[in-house]
Structure 1
Amino acid sequence: MANAGPETMEFITVAETPEAHSGSRFMRPVEVVSAILLVAIIGLLLAGVISRYVFHYPVIWIDEAASIAFLWLAMLGAAIAIDRSEHLRLTIFLNSLGEKAKAFAETLGLVLIATFLGILLPHAVEYAIGEMDITSSALNIPVGYRVSALAVGMALMLLLVAARLLKTAKPVDFITSVAFVGGITALLWLVSPSLSSLGNYNILIFLVTGAAFCLALGVPIAFCFGIGTLAFLSFTTSMPLVVMVSRMDEGMSSLILLSVPVFVFLGCILDATGMGKAIVDFLASMLGHVKAGMSYVLLGSLFLVSGISGSKVSDMATVAPALFPEMKRRGHKPKEMIALLSTGAAMADTVPPSIVLIVLGSVAGVSIAALFTSGFAIAIVLLLVLCALARFKAIRESMDGVRRPSLAIIGKAALIAAPALVLPFIIRYSVAGGVATATEVSTIAVIYALVIGMVLYGGIGPKKMYRMLVETAAMSGAILLILGTAAAMAWALTQTGFAFQLRDMMTDLPGGWFTFMLMSIVLFMLLGCVLEGLPAIVLLAPIMFPIARAIGINDVHYSMVVVTAMNIGLIAPPIGVGFYIACKIGNVSPDEAMGAIWPYIGALIFGLLAIAAVPWFSTVLL
């Protein structure tokens, strides 16, 4: 597990070598099963594509079988992520504590997670038993076999948390933590009859303050949402907790989300085969000889490589090592390079196949094809803004000894990069043109990358392939558990009627739709700093998108604004995790780079305001 800087957020990464992560021996069988499930999902999806487009004979049970494997992969992957400490969590407050206080906070966080899992596990079992009476439409098997994954995953995570408490917690810290959690629970139970009279203040108490308290303790984001929602439902409503399990199931089970683990795996292949580096080398041969040329290459590489991997971490880890040495030779300061790298990655996150766009399309009911098409145009707007700033800053760049490469060198680089360059355009045009869904395209892209990687870029050994499959399972499980608990919290919010009250308030704002857009920008930038993109999207999209529609804002236009705002928040210090990831990859102190990033963030905000004010940027290619 890596830290995103000395005082901020721990994050998940496929950019590090798989050897950096090793789980306990107890989890080895689970890792093997998860790897098999991921291969099975890719195989099923590929079979569906072939049967539909080659033989014109759709196999109706494939989606159902893939859905079963997907939920099991998500829950087993979440358990692997617990075992390897790869769940996303905020550590800025935790790391500011002294050694003893930090150890207690860590123990308290584990006790809270164990309490959450222990309370919810019986309801997950109840949910699975209840679903046994329902038969699936295509395979004619009980649906309970699929949703049993929730109970099994929770049980595994509970065992792993308990094992970690036994291994790491001091007895006094454990006893104090259990007493604290028990005392708070008893107090809330005693006052619960009075809580119903507080109305929407309960949202502030449980879903905001409760989740924020857990976040400050370093509890993984997925469990922060889950603990806040569990407490809210338990002490302020008479809703059976099995409903929360069903909402988690719904949040994790959309067929659209099947493309998430496949695109994560694609990012691993990109790193392992060097396809991304081939693109970087080609752009360097084309643009490296001009003023600010290496900055253009860095931004252009992030733009194109993002279209393959769908992962900011993978993008930055591919581009930085290839370009930073030459940029340093030309006089670029390390802090300026980090600023450009992190803001460039934020710019590229709307380039398909962006996992954030896939999740947004799923939870907000927006066409993924339209989001992919618009995201390409929005990324170009932001790319031009950053290129303009880079050119201005390159006035004193040293071009001594820089020569234009010969046509032969450019041609050779183009030939090597051509198979890799084709892939982002296959992804974009296949989805945007309606040729295939994002899920189908993700499968085709993986097979293409594997074949091309083996034939032209050196291939991947069996051991490395297995490690990549397990890493993908862990990352996907961590992502999907966030989506599940955030979906449960979003549902709880809507049940209070708060969303409708917020809508009425927002529609009456002076200044109309643009005032609402500005408020959305501030909100999503702040949440982007703290929560990262996916949980913020799942939490707020069900509330904010109906309001945007009610006041006449185009869904795709609003999507581009909120995703861009979140990405800016993600790289904004002192909390934004993307900034610290860039510092880690570039081996530059965050303190040194912090002052240099603000002009680049200012350029992105300028571009964002232009995108918000002019809907044409978002809709011109639709």
Structure 2
Amino acid sequence: MHVDIATETPALPAASAKRAWARTLDKALGPLIEIPAALLVVAEVVVLLAGVVSRYVFHSPIVWSDELASILFLWLAMLGSVVAYRRAEHMRMTALVSMASVKTQAFLEAVALAAGLAFVVMLLHPAYEFAAEEIFVQTPALEITNAWRAAALPVGFGLMLVVAALRLIECADWRHAVGALAVTALVVVALMLAEPLLRTLGNWNLLIFFVIGVGALVFTGVPIAFAFGLATFGYLMLTTRAPAMVVVGRMDEGMSHLILLAVPLFVFLGLLIEMTGMAKAMVGFLASMLGHVRGGLHYVLVGAMYLVSGISGSKAADMAAVAPVLFPEMKKRGAKEGDLVALLAATGAQTETIPPSLVLITIGSVTGVSITALFTGGLLPGVVLGVTLCMLVWWRYRGEDLSHVRRATKGEVGKALVIAFPAIALPFVIRAAVVEGVATATEVSTIGIVYAILAGLLIYRQFDWRRVYPMLVATASLSGAILLIIGAATGMAWALTQSGFSQSLAVMMKSLPGGALGFLVVSAVAFVILGSVLEGIPAIVLFGPLLFPIARQVGVHEVHYAMVVILAMGVGLFAPPFGVGYYAACAISRIHPDAGIRPIIGYMAALLVGLVVVILVPWISIGFLH
């Protein structure tokens, strides 16, 4: 999601006493999955940091560190996705489901669980076969069988199977569970009976499985990763001669890019800067500078989201760090709740390109574009969109009454700067470490984590050890949700490529009127729509590998194209009624979604103006690359 955004599902009603054993088993299962997942996050930080220190400080690289990190990473991805499944934190679209009656919602929850059950049942045996095949592959540095790594897949799917079964048993109304299982079974049987017909339809199957099928699953609240996985598995099994193991192999390939290791580490870093008070210090400094200006705290919100994004990479972490610090004072000054949540969501979209954004890291992993180039190119487009948002803030708040607001003295501003300096320096430390070659984009997050821990302990004296374990589990959960989507979307993108769809798409996009500009405009419109329906990261993983080669062919610089696509996707992700990022902003700020619908229209228009400027002026994205 990298968006990196998890949406809570409505809680299932309490199970009856007869099914108390299922709840007891579920409770016992929790720590058995969560403790290893949390330890794996710690292990990844230690292994990667050891690699940086040994190479840069002692000039004696550890040859096996990346390999060990890769083995642990797949286990973290799979156990994290089990944690996310158990906590109902997999990315899903609930906009339509939430409009239904309570009874229908409960039934659709059961359908989502049954679909998840079908997904893991179908993939469990192929995953076991895949792991068994890997026994014969030896890792080059550690010289152990690759089955140690691949075993994460069947173990993860097996645990998801147990969780899905327990959740269905815990359903308060057994008729919902039985009905959901019956509907799922009927769909599976109907598709199997239709196999001879499907094999004659050629590329019409793409419409059936990847448009109608995925659409139906996503809109009924099935987690996006499972929707992609089910559609891909069904398409390959019923319309091609590809073995089932191919789906697992492609998922493994998608989740195993070493660059994606940055995802859990930057998520954890985002949680650390909020916990250590670094975010609060940055916001305090900006507020002391601009608090006396009309609309000043709104400018602070835009600036704070820009600065915090440069550290955490996770939008949910950014919003959680900034909103609780600023919103109480903004409300005191008369700002309406709806306007606050609307601007918070808009700044979430504005800062999607700011390194180390998880979306930038994902684009680099799936398209091969240089991460360093993306990190350099992403700074200025965020500024352009920030300026358009600030222009609207100036217009809306030009008549604000500030007679009761005291201007901070120069001494107070200076003191706030001294307090905030270690926090403000962190984005520059991270970027310098990548550019100077001290660490890779994957490893640099470990430097940030150590920096944040030391700053929290020694400078801000704000480090709650009791919060570390929940933060590690939350990191594993969000990372697992993101990585399972990337795995499933990689399988789906491969199926689309094998069908010849990517070639047809390339021909169509190249023939668009307007050349490179026409291609950029159509891409932007497409990604606004895709970002709102699929969330950010799935849309990027699915269509990035198809569209980036076309961008190169029509003469668009790949970093410029990445910025246009990410910003367009961000607008879709944070725009109601479908954009899940908007609902995340509402949840974090505890403001009802209805309140922000009207004010956000203006902010979205401002973002679109900024997007048009970025499209028309490629220098904004690529000017600093040379």
Structure 2 counterpart of 1:171, which letter?
W
Farther off after superposition, 105-114 or 240-249: 105-114
Tell me what 2:345 maps to: 342
**1:409 aligns with one of 399, 407, 412:** 412
Tell me what 1:191 maps to: 194
Tell me what 2:447 maps to: 444
Tell me what 2:300 maps to: 297
1:40 deviation in Å? 0.9
Contact 1:332 1:397 in 2 (8 A): no
Tell me what 2:215 maps to: 212
1:444-488 alpha-carbon deviations (Å, 9 max, x no partner): 000110111111223434332111111111111111111110111
- Partners of 1:219 and 1:343 in 2: CA distance: 27
Contact 2:169 2:177 in 1 (8 A): no
Tell me what 1:285 maps to: 288
Structure 1 residues 94 and 350: CA distance shift in structure 2, 3 A:
same
Tell me what 1:138 maps to: 141
Tell me what 1:18 maps to: none
1:9 deviation in Å? 5.5
1:300-335 alpha-carbon deviations (Å, 9 max, x no partner): 111101111112122222222222233233332222
| 1:492-511 matches, cutoff 5 A | 492-511=495-514
Q: Are 2:236 and 1:233 aligned?
A: yes
Farther off after superposition, 409-418 or 274-283: 409-418
Contact 1:225 1:485 in 2 (8 A): yes
**1:423 aligns with one of 413, 421, 426:** 426
Farther off after superposition, 104-113 or 380-389: 104-113
Structure 1 residues 240 and 301: CA distance shift in structure 2, 3 A:
same
- Partners of 1:612 and 1:97 in 2: CA distance: 39
Structure 1 residues 185 and 584: CA distance shift in structure 2, 3 A:
closer
Tell me what 1:44 maps to: 47
- Partners of 1:11 and 1:488 in 2: CA distance: 26
Tell me what 1:129 maps to: 132
Contact 1:524 1:562 in 2 (8 A): yes
**2:181 aligns with one of 161, 170, 178:** 178
SS where residue 439 of structure 1 aligns? Answer: coil
- Partners of 1:262 and 1:321 in 2: CA distance: 23
**1:383 aligns with one of 381, 386, 403:** 386
Tell me what 1:306 maps to: 309
Tell me what 2:279 maps to: 276
Structure 1 residues 252 and 169: CA distance shift in structure 2, 3 A:
farther
1:373 deviation in Å? 0.8
**1:81 aligns with one of 81, 84, 90:** 84
1:65 deviation in Å? 0.3
Structure 1 residues 340 and 181: CA distance shift in structure 2, 3 A:
closer
Contact 2:516 2:556 in 1 (8 A): yes
1:414 deviation in Å? 1.1
- Partners of 1:114 and 1:588 in 2: CA distance: 34
| 1:99-110 matches, cutoff 5 A | 99-110=102-113
SS where residue 352 of structure 1 aligns? Answer: coil
Farther off after superposition, 320-329 or 105-114: 320-329
SS where residue 145 of structure 2 aligns? Answer: coil
Q: Structure 2, unaligned stretches of length 5 or more? A: 11-24
Contact 2:369 2:559 in 1 (8 A): yes
1:11 deviation in Å? 7.9
Farther off after superposition, 142-151 or 403-412: 403-412
Percent identity over paired residues: 50
Structure 2 counterpart of 1:279, which letter?
M
Tell me what 2:540 maps to: 537
1:100 deviation in Å? 2.9
Q: Are 2:555 and 1:552 aligned?
A: yes
Contact 1:278 1:420 in 2 (8 A): yes
1:433 deviation in Å? 4.5
- Partners of 1:23 and 1:185 in 2: CA distance: 28
- Partners of 2:254 and 2:158 in 1: CA distance: 20
Tell me what 2:19 maps to: none
1:43-84 alpha-carbon deviations (Å, 9 max, x no partner): 000000011101111111000001001100110111111111
- Partners of 2:328 and 2:104 in 1: CA distance: 41
Q: Are 2:275 and 1:254 aligned?
A: no
- Partners of 1:375 and 1:87 in 2: CA distance: 28
1:169 deviation in Å? 5.9
1:339 deviation in Å? 1.8
Contact 1:342 1:582 in 2 (8 A): yes
Tell me what 1:574 maps to: 577
Tell me what 1:16 maps to: none
- Partners of 2:516 and 2:377 in 1: CA distance: 20
Contact 2:294 2:399 in 1 (8 A): no
1:294 deviation in Å? 1.4
1:208 deviation in Å? 1.6
Contact 2:535 2:573 in 1 (8 A): yes
Farther off after superposition, 143-152 or 403-412: 403-412
Structure 1 counterpart of 2:144, which letter?
I
Structure 1 residues 325 and 110: CA distance shift in structure 2, 3 A:
closer
1:272 deviation in Å? 1.1
Tell me what 1:358 maps to: 361
Q: Are 2:67 and 1:64 aligned?
A: yes
- Partners of 1:94 and 1:401 in 2: CA distance: 45
Structure 1 residues 435 and 182: CA distance shift in structure 2, 3 A:
same
Structure 1 counterpart of 2:277, which letter?
G
- Partners of 1:607 and 1:31 in 2: CA distance: 42
- Partners of 2:43 and 2:329 in 1: CA distance: 43
Farther off after superposition, 98-107 or 497-506: 98-107
Normalised to the residue count of structure 1, the TM-score between the two structures is 0.95
Tell me what 2:14 maps to: none
SS where residue 199 of structure 2 aligns? Answer: helix
Q: How many residues align?
A: 608
SS where residue 177 of structure 1 aligns? Answer: helix
Contact 2:52 2:438 in 1 (8 A): no
**2:595 aligns with one of 592, 596, 607:** 592
Farther off after superposition, 193-202 or 472-481: 193-202
- Partners of 2:269 and 2:396 in 1: CA distance: 35
- Partners of 1:576 and 1:286 in 2: CA distance: 33
Normalised to the residue count of structure 2, the TM-score between the two structures is 0.94
Structure 1 residues 501 and 278: CA distance shift in structure 2, 3 A:
same
- Partners of 1:112 and 1:335 in 2: CA distance: 36
Contact 2:349 2:574 in 1 (8 A): yes
Contact 1:373 1:432 in 2 (8 A): no
1:434 deviation in Å? 4.0
SS where residue 490 of structure 2 aligns? Answer: helix
Contact 2:8 2:88 in 1 (8 A): no
1:108 deviation in Å? 2.0
- Partners of 1:529 and 1:431 in 2: CA distance: 32
Structure 1 residues 27 and 324: CA distance shift in structure 2, 3 A:
closer
Q: Are 2:593 and 1:609 aligned?
A: no
1:394 deviation in Å? 1.6
Q: Are 2:531 and 1:519 aligned?
A: no
- Partners of 2:67 and 2:462 in 1: CA distance: 32
Structure 1 counterpart of 2:511, which letter?
D
SS where residue 443 of structure 2 aligns? Answer: helix
Tell me what 1:113 maps to: 116
1:144 deviation in Å? 0.9
SS where residue 399 of structure 1 aligns? Answer: coil
- Partners of 2:327 and 2:181 in 1: CA distance: 49
1:279 deviation in Å? 0.1
